[in-house]
Structure formats: structure tokens, C-alpha cells
Amino acid sequence: MVFRSEYADVTALDTPIHDAVLGEAAGFGDTVALIDGTNGMSLTYAQLDGFHRRIAAALAEAGLRKGDVLALHSPNTIAYPAVFYGATRAGASVTTVHPLATPEEFAKQLADSGAQWIVTVSPLLATARRAAELACGVREIYVCDQAEGHTSILDMLSSTAPEPEVAIDPGEDVAALPYSSGTTGTPKGVMLTHRSIATNLEQLRPFIPMNEGDRILAVLPFFHIYGLTALMNVPLRCGSTVVVLPRFDLAQFLEAIQTHRISGLYVAPPIVLALAKHPLVGEYDLSSLQYIVSAAAPLDAELAAACSARLGVPPVRQAYGMTELSPGTHVVPLSVEQPPPGTVGKLLPNTEMRIVSLEDPAKDAEPGADGEILIRGPQVMKGYLGRADATAAMIDEDGWVHTGDVGRTDEDGWLYVVDRVKELIKYKGYQVAPAELEALLLTHEAVADAAVIGVYDAEGNEVPKAFLVRGPGPAAEGLTADDVMTYVAERVSPYKKVRQAEFIETVPRAASGKILRRELRDREKTNRSGTSEEQ
């Protein structure tokens, strides 16, 4: 059956994202829009509005044109929104880049997206330069702060160039180009149009209303679609104040909540765990918190309850979505005082869902039974950049997105996500593609074959585990698990590191050559069961 939202439809927002978010900025005027949580520097809405327009003018004067791609390679800063909206106002698509990406990873994204412009920060400049060399085609590298030989975004603020007037088709033109592995495989550019992102903001409005004066703490990265939406687009559209942190450090995070009287948190499960259990939490005044929302990865119901009880806030809300869905499809509304434990919410307006049988995907699952979650709505991506086959595999001919997640609904329409069909590993909310790690492992001269799955560590985080087959020769004989993990760590971003490794005789494969990951998962369960029994 087709599940439909119980909420009234909203009108699709055919508006460029910069206008959808900052259209009322001038009216908010001297209200503080952004605060740097590390040094207290701030921007008002009037400044943010003016700055992003000057950046757009300077980019256009430099030669950026509609259809160009700009790579935004930076941790969270108060400059990030101005650069993002300035680029889209100039007609560019913004591909957001993980600040911890290696030069090789960054270069792959540059080449695949066709990005000709980079905006970074001076501490990451060496990475950006090397990536540009490897990818070729980059015309200019700008910095948000200061670096010799590079134009600064700060210099752009004094530009006298005319503001560009770009005709944007919100339903066709791509505003954001984040990279996602989808249900499997290597990262792909997700084409999110101005309309899909802006309309998702309208869909979210009834669930978690924000207002002028609310204070939101942005510690999750803006480069990730969750952070881009929940911590940048939504609050800046509503006149809220966003306190920005470049990374998660528990003491700094707690200090920011206390100092800036944060009212709302949007976090991932590892932060909920820290709030529930870490002794440092008790040393700070967190009484300003009114609600907490967790997304990006499944959250244990008992952990959510422990966090809520400790902080004295309403039950921790969950939300569900994916990059390919701009990203939201489900949220637990703030208006519901006691949502069912473990639910990720109810369907957003204009959104449809099916739960299909795991045994026969052509059929719907029985009511209340587990099945793969399919989604349809105006927030669906335009497709994967340059990958028609991958797009067709993700979105069927009737417009349903096959999420690869396994879920069920109760009689009241609450969704529970219970597992994943897909092979993607989510380490602390970040996507790790097994195929990418397997390809890297096979470049090691002493590794003959490799397979990677997600397993859970002692803290409940899903981590990549490699199953390895030694190659012939003396180099392989002395190879240890630590050797292999170090080899990978030297070549990938920290969140992609292989954190467990085991040597096996052979990697189980189907006749087609596809890795039989279920057999490896069963092996892992058996190993853990045996360990538990021995202890």
C-alpha cells in the first residue's frame, strides 16, 4: 500500500535557494545570524545578505557563469553560508567537500563534478592545491581567511562589480552537488535542484518550527546534507541565530551551549551518547535546551531516553532521510509530547512511502512487517551526475526511490528503521562505501583479496571491518592486521579508516563474483557469540 502524509500538502517552492533562505534577511536586519563559537565573532542578517551578494558579484566578475561548479572545501565557519549562497546567486552549483578529504579523494570529486573553482581555508590550502593539480581544470582557488597568492573572500566584500542577474530554473538547475554512495558503490554527485531543497524546507516547517531569537548550535558539518539543511538553511530562513563550531569537542560543545544559551540541538547518535553518559556534562548549565533532534544514523531508544532524562528535556526526537531526498522524509514533531520510543517520525507533507517485501520487491510487505522503504515526493533528487544507470537503479520508472533501508510502520503511521539492505557503512553518521575500501586494500602488494562489512564496536558505533586473504610470498607471511589498517589510514580520510581486520582463507563470492557479505556477517555473529560464551 501507499502511505501518505497526514499533514496538508505544501506548495512546491519554485525559488532559488539563496532567495528561499535569505529572502527575509533584510527584514531581520540587526538580528544576529551567525556567531563563531570559538571566538565570538558574529554576522547580522543584514551583513549576511549584503556579503553573499558581494561574493556573487566578485565571482561573476572573475568569470564564473551559470552552470559552473564551485567546490566548497571548509569546516564550519561563519563565512560558509555567505560563500554557498553567493555562489548559487552567481549561478553556480556548489559541490560540498569533506574538509578531511585527502588530495586524491578531493581530486576525484573535482574531476567528477567538473568543478573549476575552489573556496577553502588556509589550513587546508595545501590539500586543495594538490587536488587541483591532480584533477586539472581548476581556474582559481580562493580562501575564506588569508593566504599569500590567493584572493580572499574578505577581499570580495569590497567588490564594486554589479550584482549578477542570473535566470535560474529552480526545477532544473542544480543548487547543491553533495557526494553520496547511495545504496552501494563509490561516491556519486547527487544533483539537488533549487526546487527540491527549497521545497524540503517548506515540508519541514510544520514539524520543527524555528523563530527569530531561537539559538541553534551547528557542530555537525555544513558539507553534509543534514547539516546544510538543519543547521544552515532552516534556521537562517527563520531568523534564528546559528552558533558555529568547526568540529565536535565535548568541552567546547558544552561551553557553547552554556555561554550562548542554545535552545535547539541537531546532532548524531555519538553526541547523544556523550550527553547521556559522559561525566563532563554535569559540569555545565544546559538548562536553556528545549529540544534535541538526532539523525544521520539509527539511535537506540534506551540511549535516547537516558539522554532526555539526564538533561531534563522532552524525548529526543529522531528524523529520517538521505542525501538523495534533499534530505528529509520523516521527523518526529516537536508538538508530540510522548512519541513512541525508537520511531524516526511521520511522513512530511507531499511525501509518499511504500514498504516492499524483502523476498519479493515487486510486492508490498504485509502491514506491520519489515520491508524496504521506498519514497516518492518533490524532494527527490534530479539524479546522479553523469550516472544514468545508477540513477535508474535508485529511482524506478514510477518515481519511487529505493532507499535500501529496512523499516516498518505501526498502526498510527510511525516509521521504525530496523536495518539496511544496502551495504553502506555509517560511521558516526558519515558514509563509508565498502567498495572504495576494498579497491584500496587490493592495491597492497601482500593482499590477494578483501571484503569489508560494517560491524559494531564496544561503544555501539558501526565501523568498517576488513576480511583479508594473504597473497603469496614472504611479504604476506609477516603481514598483520595493524599493518593493513595503517596502510588504509595513510590513504583515506579519518572516518573511512578500517578499524578491525581479520585474515581468512577466501572471500565468499557468488558465481557472478559478487561478495557474499551476508556470509561474512554471519561469521562475525558466530565469532562474537563464541567470544561472549567464553567470557
Q: What is the pLDDT of residues 410-462, one digit of tens each?
A: 999 999 998 777 787 889 888 788 888 988 998 998 998 899 999 999 888 89
CA-closest candidate to residue 124, choices 178, 74, 83, 79 = 74
Residue whose C-alpha cell reads 553518559 in the numeric block: 277
**Residue 184's pLDDT is what?**
59
User: What are the cell numbers at 460?
Assistant: 555501539
Residue 484 lies in a domain: yes
Block means of pLDDT (10 residues each) for the chain, length 535 residues?
Answer: 96 97 96 98 98 98 98 98 98 96 96 98 98 97 97 97 97 96 78 98 92 95 95 98 96 98 94 91 98 89 93 96 97 95 97 94 93 97 97 97 94 89 82 86 90 91 94 86 96 95 90 77 82 38
Distance CA 233, CA 237 (A): 6
**Residue 232's pLDDT is what?**
98
Q: State the CB neighbour count (10 A cutoff) for residue 457.
A: 12
**Residue 530's pLDDT is what?**
65
Residue 370 lies in a domain: no
**Residue 534's pLDDT is what?**
32
One-letter amino acid for residue 301 of the chain = A
Number of domains within the chain: 1
Q: Give the chain's length.
A: 535
Contact 213, 42 (CB under 8 A): no
Starting at the edge strand that comes first in sequence, how are the strands of the sheet with 447-456 ordered? 447-456, 462-470, 500-503
User: What are the cell numbers at 453?
Assistant: 562489512
- Dump pLDDT digits (tens) for 477-486: 889 999 999 9
Number of helices followed by number of strands (H, E) in the chain? 18, 27
Residue 262 lies in a domain: no
**Residue 377's pLDDT is what?**
98
Contact 414, 336 (CB under 8 A): no
Residue 517 lies in a domain: yes
Measured CA distances, 26 to 47, 48, 58, 87 (Å):
9, 9, 21, 19
Q: Which domain holds residue 469?
A: 431-534
Query: Got the DSSP string for 183-225?
Result: TSSS-EEEEEEHHHHHHHHHHHTTTS---TT-EEEE-S-TTSH
Which residues are registered as beta bridge partners of 264?
216, 291
CA-closest candidate to residue 176, choices 155, 156, 197 = 197
Residue 354 lies in a domain: no
- Dump pLDDT digits (tens) for 98-152: 999 999 999 999 999 999 999 999 999 999 999 999 999 999 999 999 999 999 9
In three-state secondary structure terms, 131 is: helix
Query: Got the DSSP string for 140-175?
Result: EEEESS-BTTB-BHHHHTT--SPPP-----TTTSEE
In three-state secondary structure terms, 519 is: helix
**Residue 436's pLDDT is what?**
87
Residue 87 lies in a domain: no
Q: Where are the alpha helices (DSSP H) in 278-387?
A: 301-311
**Residue 123's pLDDT is what?**
98
φ and ψ at 522, to 5 degrees?
Answer: -60, -40
**Residue 532's pLDDT is what?**
39
Residue 184 lies in a domain: no
Return the CATH number at 492. Answer: 3.30.300.30
Residue 341 lies in a domain: no
Distance CA 395, CA 405 (A): 14
The H or E element spanning position 319 is strand 317-321
